Structure 1
Amino acid sequence: MTLWLATCLTFPVSSYAEESSTATRLLVPHDNEAVTPPADGSVAVSEQPVVRHSVRRHRSRKEKPAAPPVPAPSATEKAQPSASTGNLPEGWRSERFSTQSDVEPQKPADNAPAKTNGPSVAPAKAPAPSLPEENKAAAVNKIFLPMGDGAGIGAFWSGNDFIIVSDRATQMDTSALQGTGVFSAATVQTVGNTTIVAFHFNQLIPLEMHKQPGGWILAVRAENEARRHAVITPQTKDGGLLYPMPQSGRVIELSDPASGARLLVATSVEECPGPLLRRHKLGYEIWPSVQGLVFALESDQIEVRKGNGGAFLDILGKDGIPVASSAEGAVADDRVDWSWLGLRSLNPTVLKEDYRRRWTQAAMQPPENRGEARLEAARAAFAMGDAREAKAILGTAIEDNPELALQPNVTFLQAASSLLTGNAEAASALANPEAGSDGVLWRGLYMARSGGNPAKAATLMAQGFSNLQSYPDSLKKQIQPEVATFIARYGSDEDRSVLEPLPAEGRFDLARAFMTLKAGDQDKALAMFSRLASDRKPEVAVVAAEQVLDTKRAAGRIRPAEAAAGYEKLLFAARQAGVEKEVRHNLIAALMQAGEWPRALISVDDDLRLFPEDRIALAPQIEQILQHLAESDGQTGGAKPVELIDAVAMIESHIDQIPDGPAKGKILAGLARKLQGLGLPGKAAIAFERALPLASDDAQRAALGAELAQADIDAQRLGQARRALDETQDPGADATLASRRRVITAGLLAREGSRDQALQLLAEDESDASLDLKGRILEEQRNWPEAVLVVGRLATKNLPEVGSLTPEQQQLAIRLATDAARANDWSTLDRLREWVGGRRMSTERQRIFTLLVTSPEDELRKRAQLQ
């Protein structure tokens, strides 16, 4: 049900009987203004008592000059007896108005006489008594306030009171609002040509106001409807500030009922919604408002008055800081830069004075009320660029009131202060996307300083880069060059476009060099970086020197090992400049590119010791390094024992940093082979067992199973070897793998004493491993003739026709000669002597070979020739 309140609001006649004549006279609109509310409006009346608001005089918390009195009534008004000051109650004679709800609602006086003319909206009638009780006020979500067409209106929240200020005197009767639900508790206060209406609510509810012929509609806003708000840009004019407003009304001074703050309400005849959030200015604040603008003055020197086109702010006195110095920046509704961080584009002198005022106000407050004042002081310190002071103030405020730490704006300010003081770990709250688009710059800066994704960080900073233009110079100088350099270095083409054109100042030279490099002019960029490498600022010189090495290494103008040496020389300076992590990452990359895998892994360990958060980011590099360390097979004898031991130790100490998968399985298999090469088959078997479940397919599983079985055999664990072979069978294995597993099975049979069965298993296998094992079994059986045949086939396959012999080939020739000598196979010995006898062997092997291939007849013949 729509309620049209068009009645004259007065206090009960029983209390103010002397005003009855005035109340009767003011039942009709003034100045021939017609108020014609819709005829279908009605008021739901119930037996609920009317909640009245008391009227009292507010005194300021500190001594200040008395506020200008409300303009005196006109001569005509003075002629009315009821309008005289002597006949008004005490509260109505106040120079400042303050409205608050009574502690206990008061019922209308029983002897209150009926109004002579009744409500000014004649058609309105009480609903029929037959209406159900629950329906009496259920639909009252808007009311009509008959304040006239030309009245300037302001409206704002003060605690749980909604205050409406009119620059015209309008008597209205609140009795029609009894039992209307949310609008039941209302009071009206008029003095001279000013009216203040207050509605008390149990909690804040969304309200809006719309102008209608003859007055205004006050309504409850729908939940899904966004609230209207203003973006008002102040204009510098005549040494002051003009806040533009459509058809501005008078500026009315009063005390805030909730806080006692001195308020100046700039009213407007037309609809003029104010900002959503509180705006902090030097010496004053702009409060959220539903209609008009509300200025809370902290300085006695600031004056707000009606100007040509809006509300005009000026400074009184010669020593005050001009309010025009805070004109930069619109009254916008962002949550971070203005409301959370208190950033305003003011000169250092103004910022310092603002901080002094905030700190003084915080010190003068009672201990229990210092929380908000300290937050303001912390914001002022942060705006000056003094993040350490802001952090210290916040720490004290939170220590006294721990609940402050739960507020998002406090958490954000504390995190931003920590970030600017170099403590990125304490700034993790900046990563929370709760701040939305307002906080992208700070999210990006945190991500950049904490080692996050550089491309994502550059994109975030590029999205918020325009905000920097309105930051205070002291703070802007701290972070703008860093942000610009990061975007230029890691951002996309679209990200870098926000930097154009870069300022000509020298602090942007590093960003300019990166822009040149990204544009493709490598030679010019190298020249710029080389010049900047001798800059007196370490954070510039180190980054430039590092980029010279990066660019040359990428272009092949410098060997990776030389680049690694250059990075190592930069480490100390990089630590001083705060870019040690980046330099260490490049050092690791250069060492890996140079193939210096052990040194690369040592550098990784150094990095993780200093920056534990890099563990996940460096996992791919660790995996690649371990793969290369595990590649060489220790069983080949190509690696020195010391190198094998170092490689084994490095792999064992880092293998758990690699996630499970085929890559880790290959590294474990390489580790097991190195352990085999060191003569540690038991440990090798353990490594093979860990690698087996990580095999990528059945063929690899069968191959690992064979190696595991061989390690178990070498460790004298024959039962485990048999089990390993049985559990890793692969019928589809290729011929090479099948032969390898067959040889290992035969070796196991031989160890178990089944030599004939082993020989039978290898009968058709002519691989080198099979021939070698068959020869050894025959040699153990002392079956020398058969051994000569088998070892002879092995020698035929592996001994070259001409050329030098490797140590292994020399040993194979001696083995064949030994078997042939024991079999008295002189024909084989003669052929072997002719085949390899003239080739160079080691001294010891040459002596043995000569002794084996020389027959007794040849020995007698040589002795005869010597005689």
Structure 2
Amino acid sequence: MPEGWRSERFSTQSDADPKKQTEGAPAKINTSSVSSAQTAASSQPEESKPAVISKIFLPLGDGAGVGAFWSGNDFIIVSDRATQMDTSALQGTGRFANATVQTVGNTTIAAFHFDQVTPLEMHKQPGGWILAVRAENETSRHAVITPQAKDGGLLYPMPQPGRVIEISDPASGARLLVATAVEECPGPLLRRHKLGYEIWPSMQGLVFAIESDQVEVRKGNGGAFLDVLGKDGIPVASGAEGAVADDRVDWSWLGLRALNPAVLKEDYRRRWTQAAMQPPEARGEARLAAARAAFAMGDAREARAILGTAIEDNPELALQPNVTFLEAASELISGNVDGASALANPEAGSDGVLWRGLYMARSGGNPAKAATLLAQGFPNLENYPEPLKKQIQPEIATFIARYGSDEDRSVLEPLPADGRFDLARAFMTLKAGDQDKALAMFSHLASDKRPEIAVVAAEQTLGMKLAAGRIRPAEAAAGYEKLLFAARQAGAEKEVRHGLISALMQTGDWPGALVAADDDMRLFPEDRIALAPQIEQILEHLAATDIQAGSAKSTELIDAVAMIESHVDQIPDGPAKGKILAGLARKLQGLGLPGKAAIAFERALPLASDDSQRAALGAELAQADIDAQRLGQARRALDETQDPGADASLASRRRVITAGLLAREGSRDQAFELLEQDESDAALDLKGRILEEQRKWPDAVLVVGRLATKNLPEVGALNADQQQLAIRLATDAARANDWSTLDRLREWVGGRRMSPERQRIFTLLVTSPEDELRKRSEAQ
């Protein structure tokens, strides 16, 4: 033993070269890690100096086999040699002060009690071991255990194995077999569950918690050797299949192993029996083991029930991530997606991607991302127990084939010949580009007896036929409608509803498409973001549809306004929303609601894409304000939206609105002067109304005559507006006693059909007194 470390006492010195100390010198505090000791006055006795120790030396000897693990808040160190150690040197050292040492035969057991689990590390040094508090920026060491099947048992390789020591766990009373090692041999980070035993986390050596009296652990050639005693024992070598890293979620948290059903059933029976035999206060871990065994058998409902009882008796279990994960996975497999939200947490790391992906797929998350996660975890399924694998593998394969990238789909090749993978095969064929073959496969599967297969296949068949033009959009919409009930039962309702919305949009049934989208978002709130583009497109068409108020379709106009108003806030601010709001405003204007129309125009104005559109919207806003008798606001709207670069048509429209505002304010001459050179229809109409209001009938005949010349056809029927324009010109000419104009007008349009009332008025206006006297004389 090196100089200075010959006494059988714990030493608080550092792991620096011990030869630098004087032989027989008293143990010293590691001043490199204790700043408070350095600040004490030099005149003080060394015993009175404050000491905060971060590492200690354990004089266990060079050839001793050592194991170390946590038991509750106690850190246990086991040595396969008897070493009498005095712990007085640790008194007053803070973290390591509460220590006990006992020797039993040729075994030494040291226990350090902490107020809470503290990150520690152990390193071998000449003459013993260093136990130290691990730095915050350092990660703990743990092993990848790969057991080797040998001589009917399992060999867990270890460097220079020591004796296997049997002790009782101080915290739980479990029977432990501690496989010690002479050299540094860190154990696993998480528990690993096996048939009849568990491997516990350890800092040094391996710790086996034995559940079956038939399991034996002994020192072997090159490590710890496990075997089963008795003819009826299940060989432990079966647990070596698919050996993986110890922190793997599938094994450590879910208890999944590629064992045959008989072994799984026996494992569940053993663990359930063990849980039942434990006293109530000690059943927590046993129940967790039984829940894992039930889950591995594919009985997620039983696993969920066992976990519920365990958590009810011991609520603290719900705080453990492994318990939370197992409970969420059980809920997911049982069909309760809402109860599985804990799977969305990436805390489980890369090994939890399969379950994160399956949760995302079933909960309606991003399908491409879900497929990628499922593809990453798909190889894990090969080491799953057959009952559980049979439940979820076809579903996962189908989802990857449907939504995954080329790289994702590569993990599926080759697909098993099993008919359960026929739907995945059809999607693989579709993604490969063989449309006709894929359509034939989907059409065949649409009559499958399994509803979860038939509904998806039928939905795909409708979509492919619609895309290929083999059916009309209305036929596809009707087909999707018929599928809805079965889709709800099969868990494929969302996809069918998406197809229905698309088909209705293609038919031009925009109100129906919006109702279908509302139904989808009510049932699947997570779809609100995904459906935003369709909602925007539907609202754009509803806003652009020209439905005149007072027509037979006025009810449709009211419905369109209500739909736009109730959905427009779902659209993000931008030019598209501005167009929708402007369309809404025009419809409100058509319904005789200029005040509401003005509000909609005001909301649309800041969303204009350029100055020209802003000027156009400003003009419409001003007109709505004028119609609502808000002349000051109309003037402000025109002033704030001027655009010197506006084209001639827009400039004319704004000029007419400005002139109309002047006329409303009483400045008719100024309004007329503003429009004097403008010969647009709107300008002629307004100039004619101004002259009519001023009773300047001859001038009004000239202006309205030019408007009639532009808008009344040479021959053919007249629509209602054209008939009204003809009567207007006739009225102005009659008031101006302009019989030449009346004669020309009578010859031009007099022979064309008008409504009875308009015909009577027009005839009365264009008939001169001389004509009336001549008709009377001829009648006599």
Range class of TM-score, shorter chain: 0.7 to 0.9
Match of 1:778 in 2: 691
**Alpha-carbon distance in structure 1 between the residues aligned to 2:571 and 2:50:** 72
Q: 1:141 aligns with which of 52, 55, 60?
A: 55
Q: Distance in 1 between matches of 2:76 and 2:630?
A: 91
Identity of aligned residues (%): 80
- Please state how far the C-alpha of 1:134 moved relative to its aligned partner: 7.9
* Aligned match of 1:317: 230
Q: Distance in 2 between matches of 1:635 and 1:3?
A: 105
- Give how far 1:628 is off: 0.8
**Counterpart selection for 2:312 from 377, 380, 399:** 399
What is residue 112 of structure 1 aligned with on the other side?
A: none
Mapped partners of 2:25, 2:256: distance in 1: 49
* Residues in 1 aligned to 2:778 and 2:221: alpha-carbon distance in whole angstroms: 138
DSSP-derived class of the 1:464 partner: helix
**Matches of 1:376 and 1:470, distance apart in 2:** 19
**Structure 2 residue runs without a partner (length 5+):** 11-16, 30-41
Within-5 A mapping of 1:502-513: 502-513=415-426
Contact persistence 1:44–1:177 (CA under 8 A): no
Work out the CA distance in 1 between the residues paired with 2:98 and 2:594.
91
Correspondences of 1:660-739 after superposition (within 5 Å): 660-739=573-652
1:444 aligned to which of 357, 382, 389: 357
For residues 302 and 175 of structure 1, do their structure 2 counterparts lie closer, same or farther at Cα, with a shift above 3 Å needed?
A: closer
Note the C-alpha offset of 1:791: 0.8
Assess, with a 3 A threshold, how the Cα gap between structure 1 residues 789 and 366 changes in structure 2: closer, same or farther.
same
Larger RCO: 1 or 2 (CA < 8 Å, sep 6+): 1
**Distance (whole Å) between structure 2 residues aligned to residue 389 and residue 482 of structure 1:** 22
Distance 1:523 1:859, change over 3 A: same
Helix, strand or coil for the counterpart of 1:252?
strand
Deviation readout 1:841-863 (Å, 9 max, x if unpaired): 45554554455445455566777
Q: Is the 8 A contact 1:4 1:143 kept in 2?
A: no
Q: Structure 1 residues 222, 369: closer, same or farther in 2, change over 3 A? A: closer
Q: Structure 1 residue 604 and structure 2 residue 585: aligned? A: no
Closer/same/farther in 2, CA of residues 664 and 178 from structure 1, 3 Å limit: closer
Distance 1:289-1:400 versus aligned 2 partners, 3 A rule: closer
Contact 2:365 2:526 in 1 (8 A): no
Which of 663, 668, 685 is equivalent to 1:750?
663
Aligned residues of 1:416 and 1:442 also touching (Cα < 8 A): yes
- Partner residue in 2 for 1:267: 180
- 1:387 is aligned to 2:333: no
Counterpart Cα distance in 2 of 1:435 and 1:799 = 79
Residue correspondence of structure 1 range 163-242 to structure 2 within 5 A: 163-167=76-80, 169-174=81-86, 177=89, 181=93, 189-190=102-103, 194-202=106-114, 204-209=117-122, 216-220=128-132, 222-223=134-135, 224-242=137-155
The aligned residue for residue 818 of structure 1 is 731
Residue pairs, 1:123-522, within 5 angstroms = 132=46, 141=55, 143=57, 145=59, 147-149=61-63, 151-167=64-80, 169-174=81-86, 177=89, 181=93, 189-190=102-103, 194-202=106-114, 204-209=117-122, 216-220=128-132, 222-223=134-135, 224-330=137-243, 332-334=245-247, 336-522=249-435
Deviations 1:240-267 (A, max 9, x none): 3332334444333222233222112223
Give the secondary structure class of the aligned counterpart of 1:156: strand
Distance in 1, matches of 2:487 and 2:572, equals 31
Provide Cα deviations, 1:173-194, integer angstroms capped at 9, x if missing partner.
43795569466666655555x3
Structure 2 Cα separation of the partners of residues 173 and 716 of structure 1: 101
1:78-125 Cα offsets, whole Å, 9 max, x none, are xxxxxxxxxxxxxxxxxxxxxxxxxxxxxxxxxxxxxxxxxxxxxxxx
**CA deviation after TM superposition for structure 1 residue 517, in Å:** 1.0
The one-letter code sitting in structure 1 at the alignment partner of 2:663 is A
Q: How far does the alpha carbon of each residue in 1:345-385 deviate from its partner, in whole angstroms, 9 at most, with x for none? A: 22333333333333333344444433333333332332222
Do the aligned partners of residues 221 and 403 (structure 1) sit closer, same or farther apart at CA in structure 2, a change above 3 Å counting? closer
- Residue by residue, what CA displacement relative to the aligned partner does 1:520-577 show, whole Å, maximum 9, x if unpaired? 1111111111121112211111111111122233333333222222211111111001
Q: In the TM superposition, what whole-angstrom CA distance separates every residue of 1:581-607 from its partner, at most 9, and x where no partner exists?
A: 121112112211222101001101211
Deviation at 1:160, TM superposition (A): 4.4
1:56 alignment partner in structure 2:
none
Deviation track 1:627-681 (CA, whole Å, cap 9, x = no partner) reads 1101134458888212212212212222333334433332222122112222333
- Which residue is equivalent to 2:37? none
> Structure 2: how far apart are the matches of 1:327 and 1:518?
38
Cα distance in structure 2, aligned partners of 1:865 and 1:257 = 133
Per-residue deviation, 1:467: 2.0
Cα gap change, 1:632/1:428 in structure 2, threshold over 3 Å: closer, same or farther? same
Is the alpha carbon distance of 1:451 and 1:675 closer, same or farther for their aligned partners in structure 2, counting shifts above 3 Å? same
* Contact 2:548-2:557 within 8 A present in 1 as well: no
State the TM-score, normalized to the length of structure 2: 0.88
State the alpha-carbon separation in 2 of the partners of residues 682 and 188 from structure 1.
Answer: 89
Q: CA deviation at 1:132?
A: 4.7
Residue among 18, 23, 45 paired with 2:26: 45
Contact 1:147/1:170, CA 8 A, preserved across alignment:
no
Distance 1:459 1:209 in 2: 40
The C-alpha deviation readout for 1:243-293, integer Å capped at 9, x for no partner, is: 233444433322223322211222344443321221111221111223332
Structure 1 residues 175 and 661: CA distance shift in structure 2, 3 A: closer
Q: Which is greater in Rg? A: 1
* Distance (whole Å) between structure 2 residues aligned to residue 336 and residue 252 of structure 1: 29
For 1:623, the aligned partner's letter is E
Instruction: Kindly indicate whether residue 440 of structure 2 is the aligned counterpart of residue 558 of structure 1.
Output: no
Separation (CA, whole Å) in 1 of partners of 2:753 and 2:489:
62
Match of 2:742 in 1: 829
CA distance in 2, matches of 1:455, 1:590: 23
> What secondary structure sits across from 1:253 in the alignment?
strand
Secondary structure, aligned partner of 1:266 = strand
Q: Distance in 2 between matches of 1:646 and 1:137?
A: 81
CA RMSD, Structure 1 to Structure 2 (Å): 3.4
The CA deviation at 1:305 is 2.5
TM-score (ref. length: structure 1): 0.79
SS in 1 for 2:283: helix
Of 687-696 and 623-632, deviating more is 687-696
Distance 1:652 1:140 in 2: 68
